[in-house]
Amino acid sequence: MAKGAENKSETKKTTSTTKSGKSSANGSSKTKSSTSMKSASTKSAKKKGSSRTKTEEKGNYGDKPLVEVGKKHVKVAGVKMKKKTALKIALALIAIVLVAAIVFVVVYLAKPDFKNAVREWWHYTFDKDSANNNGGGSNGGSNGTPIGESKGSLTITAINVGQGDAIFIELPDGKKMIVDGGENRNDNKKAFKEFFGAKGLLKSENNKSLVDYVVLTHTDSDHCGDLDYILTDIFAYADKIYVPKLRSNEYSINLSADYPLQVSSAYNNFLKAATNARKDDKNNADIKYLENKITIEGEGYRITMYCRNDNYYKAIDVKEAHDINDVSPIIVIECNNRKVVLTGDANASHIKTSSEKNFIEQMNGESFDADILKVAHHGGKDSSGIDFLNYVKCEYAIISVGGTQDTEGEYSEYSLFVSEEFKKVGAEFLLRPNKKYGHPSQEVAAIDGRLSQSGVQNLYVTWFCGNVTCNISKEGNISVMTEFAASNNDGVVVFVKIEATESGLLKSCDIIIVETRKEENQVEEI
């Protein structure tokens, strides 16, 4: 019904009713006429109501606004009410919202679990680098979300930094990530210059060189010692830097006194470099906490970091090595239907604070099958639990370790597991672990150790192999390149230098003795 017709009908109805009211005492005919008029009016109203109902079903109220304000009345969604009533309803709604907000804040502050859940929801809902995915599955996370097809390969290099970790990741979309930065050592700095220089990423030669993601797994100096150097001297820019929720003696990174203070010059120097790092000429790098579960997604890949929660950080004793080591997140990289698992210095399940156990619990029974493992804590005996190794099911493993072999007999000599192929033919490489820490341990890395027991087919140790580079092609094929390759020399495993020929092919050169790094090369912390 047209708007003008509606108004006219309402006017007639009012007039008829008024006349009927005045004439009600004059006789039945007028009463009958009034009844007839009233009946017609009622029919008209029903028709109009029916018409409005149809309009409302369409999600609007005809040409009228949702809220109409008159002199004495207010119409809300077509319902007429007095202004005082509307005001009361509005005040009641405001009061309900305020009470709900107060309750939310009280519970948020009083209940850490609720607080963590809210933070996790916020990050995964509104942070484009986070999503609530659990990883796992051949081509998607636990929620079945497909990763999509990548346009290139994934390359991961364990840079030989002696006793320590430094992992460089080149993603299919061209983005770059570095996980840890080794010990503060002159030969590590030299190694970084050579490695990144060959890729054209040195700041001194490329003032636009950018690392997109920097991750410090935990605060041990053999992981963060030269990460400040990477941020200040290798790359010109860094986009996002992920750090543990721990303060240093000079940098709080916006954490309150509820979080432990890690007094370490290596960690402090890293936080200084992170705080001053730039993502571009105008903006500082984003510093993010390693907390709960963080997901980074790109075209054809997904990186999920299974971190510790807020309560863990507040409760740890920074003087306890296990507590600090288990800050390490388990990082899963999915690409081209393959998975890579990085572990920092995570401890095995028999350690109370175990990060490996935390990962398995976060996976909540979901099936998991990975391919490449960066072995936790340099092959230490308190890491790489058999339950964890059986769960991730990797065929390739890398141990980043170095130092001076123990010749004094504190650690027993054992036959290092190199590959299933060498194991079958009885070829051995006799090893004494490094003198300072006993890494890699016999329990993990021996020919009958936990790695071999869990189905690992090939083990690469940076101590003897040098830089270890794993490539996963667009088709999902895995290739591993090392500076020194294991070779069977009449039942004795030796490591052979690999060099490129003019044609670009590789060849094995003369057998050489692999010199191990000496601890004296370490630079003293100031």
Instruction: For residue 162, give the DSSP letter.
Output: S
Q: Could you tell me the pTM of the whole model?
A: 0.72
Query: pLDDT value at position 187?
Result: 95
Residue 27 pLDDT class (50, 70, 90 cuts): very low
What span, in angstroms and rounded, lies between the C-alpha atoms of 227 and 231?
Answer: 6
Q: Is the pLDDT of residue 218 over 70?
A: yes
Query: pLDDT value at position 108?
Result: 74
Q: Please list, in sequence order, all residues whose beta carbon lies within 8 angstroms of the beta carbon of residue 506, skipping any fewer than 6 positions away.
A: 498, 499, 500
What span, in angstroms and rounded, lies between the C-alpha atoms of 167 and 192?
Answer: 11
Q: Is the pLDDT of residue 134 over 50?
A: no
Residue 57 CB coordination number (10 Å):
8
What are the tens digits of pLDDT across the range 245-286?
999 999 999 999 999 999 999 999 999 999 999 999 999 999
- Indicate the SS3 state at residue 138: coil
Which residues make beta-bridge pairs with 199? none
Handedness of CA 31, 35, 40, 46 (dihedral sign): positive
Instruction: For residue 278, give the DSSP letter.
Output: B
Which residues make beta-bridge pairs with 476? none
Task: Report CA dihedral (86, 91, 96, 99) to the nearest 10 degrees.
Answer: 180
Which residues make beta-bridge pairs with 294? 305
Question: Which residue intervals of 179-316 are DSSP H helices?
Answer: 186-198, 221-224, 227-229, 265-276, 310-315
- Residue 283 parent element (H or E): none
What span, in angstroms and rounded, lies between the C-alpha atoms of 177 and 219?
Answer: 18
Mean pLDDT confidence for 425-435: 94
List the one residue out of 347, 411, 332, 424 whose CA is nearest residue 379.
347
- Helices 112-126 and 83-110, axial angle in degrees (round to 10): 110
In the chain, what percentage of residues exceed pLDDT 90?
A: 65
What are the tens digits of pLDDT across the range 476-502?
999 999 999 999 999 999 999 887 655
- Helices 3-23 and 28-57, axial angle in degrees (round to 10): 150
Which residues make beta-bridge pairs with 293? 306
What span, in angstroms and rounded, lies between the C-alpha atoms of 329 and 305?
Answer: 6
Query: pLDDT value at position 50?
Result: 44
- Please state the φ and ψ torsions of residue 251, each to the nearest 5 degrees: -125, 120
- Residue 451 parent element (H or E): helix 450-453
